[in-house]
Amino acid sequence: MARSAPVPRVRTSGRTRRTAVIVACAMFMQSLDSTVIATALPTMAKAFGAVPVHMNVALTSYLLSLAVFIPASGWVADRYGARTVFRAAIAVFTIGSILCGRADSLAFLVAARVLQGIGGAMMVPVGRLVLLRTAPKQELVAAMAWLTVPALLGPVLGPPVGGFIVTYFSWRWIFDINIPIGILGIVLVSLFVEDVREPPRGRFDGIGLLLCGIALASLMFGLETAGRGVVPQSTTLAMFGIGLVAIVGYLMHAWNHPAPLLDLSLMRLPCFGVALSAMMLFRTGIGAIPFLLPLMLQVGFGQSAVQSGLITFASSAGALVMKPATQHALRLFGFRDTLVWNGVISAVMIGLCAAFRPTWPAAAIYAALLIGGFFRSLQFTAYNTLAYGDVPRARMSSATSLYVTCQQLAATIGISAGAVSLEISMALAGRAAPQPIDFSHAFLVVALFTLVAAPIALLMPRNAGDDLTGRRSAPAQPAREAAD
């Protein structure tokens, strides 16, 4: 058997590292903020004299604002420059945070959250675009590893950080902590990020934005409310219906438009199409973890919010440990084999959460979450890097808008899948409150989503993405790889 040629080590330039850290910090601010508020809602309801259940609109208004404006981010970045838009997005998000911290009513808070959502909708995809246009192709793996960490840290750290702030300080500090981070981000972007841009592809697709906004907002609202009893079931079904009609309308519009807002023709690119399809299934499974795990520990096991937060942090610690090893793993095994086998391992580790019980030693739960976070981080980095491996530079902004839009939708689907699975398990057993076995059923369902994503990677050639890692095959292997 022919042996692989030695794999050279790819050094990451200082420029790429600086840009990656700046973008990662901005994304962490957005990721943390989107989850930290959930813990503070009951306290905020008392301050506003509002019914606690009505405070959910502070979460949905932000998510809907993201859904409406993310598709426009690529065109706006091409038109005005990625650095300019990224810096402006941080400023808008920071101003929104200031206003949220000054809110004296629910209506004021919702308006400020919508403004935050507009900033976040531009900040996340445009920040990724800045990095994609700054980093050379062979440095993308290392660069993307930085962006995986805030995506995994934010949802896990949000609830315990929110609980700590509300318990020992004012709820307004939840938003005020974004102010120094935002100001620092604006300064660092101005000093260290290059203003790389491409000419926009055609005029702005206003009709596409309208149809996409209606479709995504309706679907995400339906997914957020499905199985939770916060609105009548007829309302949820109506939102799904409106969303599906808008999707059909957009598909018909995009077919005839020379430069649609979300360019679905990118799915014809082998690496992008496979990576996006698999990522959505994987993200659906992973998206349920920040919802199910703290709920299981607090409601199912009777732990406090602080105890739950300390345990869930283990999965984030695993992501941090994985970052230095990501590039080496992908160079050693290649993208295809990594995505297949690492995907299976990730699914098994999520399934293992179904076996958690209050009698388990804390060390065993810590170890399972740490190892699971380790493998999930590798999988995210591989998907996020490979997706852009065969995207032409001129279409990078369109690819980023489509990828981040699908990522956001998949995360919402994951939360809904976890909530509905939990509700069905409780209903079948005739229970009013969830028990550990109900959480077990929910974890097995979302683990199945993750498992189904793994074999999709077999649709790509074995050497897919080798140019992104500097990995080279021995001369005797090309015929065999071509057959794969």
- For residue range 337-395, what is the model confidence (pLDDT) as tens digits? 999 999 999 999 999 999 999 889 888 998 898 899 889 888 988 898 888 888 888 88
Tell me the percentage of the chain whose pLDDT exceeds 90: 20
At residue 197, φ and ψ (nearest 5 deg) are -150, 160
Residues 229 and 345 in one domain: no
pLDDT classification of 277: cutoffs 50, 70, 90: very high
| CA gap 402, 131 in Å, rounded | 16
* 37 lies in the same domain as 156: yes
Its pTM stands at 0.80
Q: Could you tell me if 240 and 276 lie in one domain?
A: no
Among 194, 219, 243, which residue terminates a domain? 194
The terminus-to-terminus CA distance of the chain in angstroms comes to: 16
Per-residue pLDDT tens over the stretch 289-301: 877 887 788 778 8
Q: Which of 317, 285, 311, 312 is closest to 443 using CA atoms? A: 285
Query: Domain check: are 329 and 380 in the same one?
Result: yes
Q: Comparing 282 with 39, which gets the higher pLDDT?
A: 282
171-194 mean pLDDT = 89
Domain extent at residue 123: 15-194
Both 235 and 319 in one domain: the answer is no
Compute how many other C-beta atoms are within 10 angstroms of the C-beta atom of residue 437. Answer: 15
Is there a single domain that holds both residue 322 and residue 231? no
| Local structure of 464: helix, strand or coil | coil
Residue 477 falls within a domain, yes or no? no
What pLDDT is recorded for position 147? Answer: 75
For the cut 90, the answer to whether the pLDDT of residue 20 exceeds it is no
295 and 350 co-located in one domain = yes
In a domain, 53, yes or no: yes
CA angle 376, 417, 124 (to 5 degrees): 55
Q: Decide if 3 is inside a domain.
A: no
Residues 75, 167 share a domain = yes
**307 and 371 in a common domain:** yes
